[in-house]
């Protein structure tokens, strides 16, 4: 009971403190409150909105591939959608690339070529990484060669899956 009493007293004191603030401080707090309200709505939409194109959720095998991608720091050197490191190539569309594809990825994974560490992925692990890259590939294009650049500085992207 005494704890509850102290808590209520604490809240009351803080409210009392707010009333004693100067006019300018209250104005700043009001602006921050508005920004925070907008930020909350914005975050709600970011967290709940789906991708612009119809994309499937990662399969359990692709999730395993994603975990391997992460645990082995593939992102240190490689990029997806241009995000990651720059020592190796972007792999967004390596799966559907006419000269590359799953066989090429499979051969490359344990090759240890140039600065790439000599990984020792099992066949199952290699299959999981390939599945992850396949599902990433399905989401869109990077580089987006067919995007159109507008006079306003805007870029309209070319999407996969019919958009």
Q: Which residues bind other proteins (CB under 8 A)?
A: 17, 21-22, 24-25, 28, 31-32, 35, 38-39, 42, 46-47, 49-53, 55, 57-58, 63, 66, 70-77, 79-90, 114-115, 117, 135-136, 139-140, 142-145, 147, 149-150, 153-155, 157, 159-160
Give the nearest distance from C-beta 69 to other proteins in angstroms: 10
Cβ nearer to other proteins, comparing 109 with 136: 136
Classify 143 as helix, strand or coil: coil
Cβ nearer to other proteins, comparing 8 with 30: 30
143 prior amide bond cis, ω within 30: yes
- CA nearest neighbour of 94 among 51, 147, 62, 136: 136
CB environment 31-57: b (16+ within 10 A), e (fewer):
eeeeeeeeeeeeeeeeeeeeeeeeeee
Cβ nearer to other proteins, comparing 1 with 40: 40
Query: Phi, psi at residue 90, to the nearest 5°?
Result: -70, 140
| Kind and range of the H or E run holding 67 | helix 60-71
Cβ nearer to other proteins, comparing 127 with 157: 157
Give the nearest distance from C-beta 124 to other proteins in angstroms: 19
Cβ nearer to other proteins, comparing 1 with 145: 145
Give the nearest distance from C-beta 121 to other proteins in angstroms: 14
Strand partners, 149: 155
């Amino acid at each position: 009971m005494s704890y509850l009493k102290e808590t209520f007293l604490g809240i009351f004191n803080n409210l009392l403190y707010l009333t004693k603030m100067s006019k300018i401080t209250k104005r700043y707090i009001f602006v921050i409150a508005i920004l925070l309200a907008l930020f909350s709505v914005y975050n709600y939409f970011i967290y709940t909105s789906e991708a612009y194109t119809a994309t499937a959720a990662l399969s359990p095998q692709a999730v395993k591939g994603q975990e391997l991608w992460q645990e082995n720091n593939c992102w240190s050197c490689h990029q997806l959608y241009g995000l990651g490191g720059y020592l190796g190539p972007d792999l967004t569309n390596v799966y559907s690339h006419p000269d590359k594809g799953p066989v090429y990825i499979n051969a490359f994974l344990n090759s240890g070529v140039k600065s790439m560490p000599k990984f020792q992925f099992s066949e199952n692990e290699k299959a999981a990484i390939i599945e992850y890259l396949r599902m990433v590939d399905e989401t869109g294009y990077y580089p987006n060669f067919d995007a159109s650049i507008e006079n306003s500085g805007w870029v309209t992207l070319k999407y996969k899956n019919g958009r």
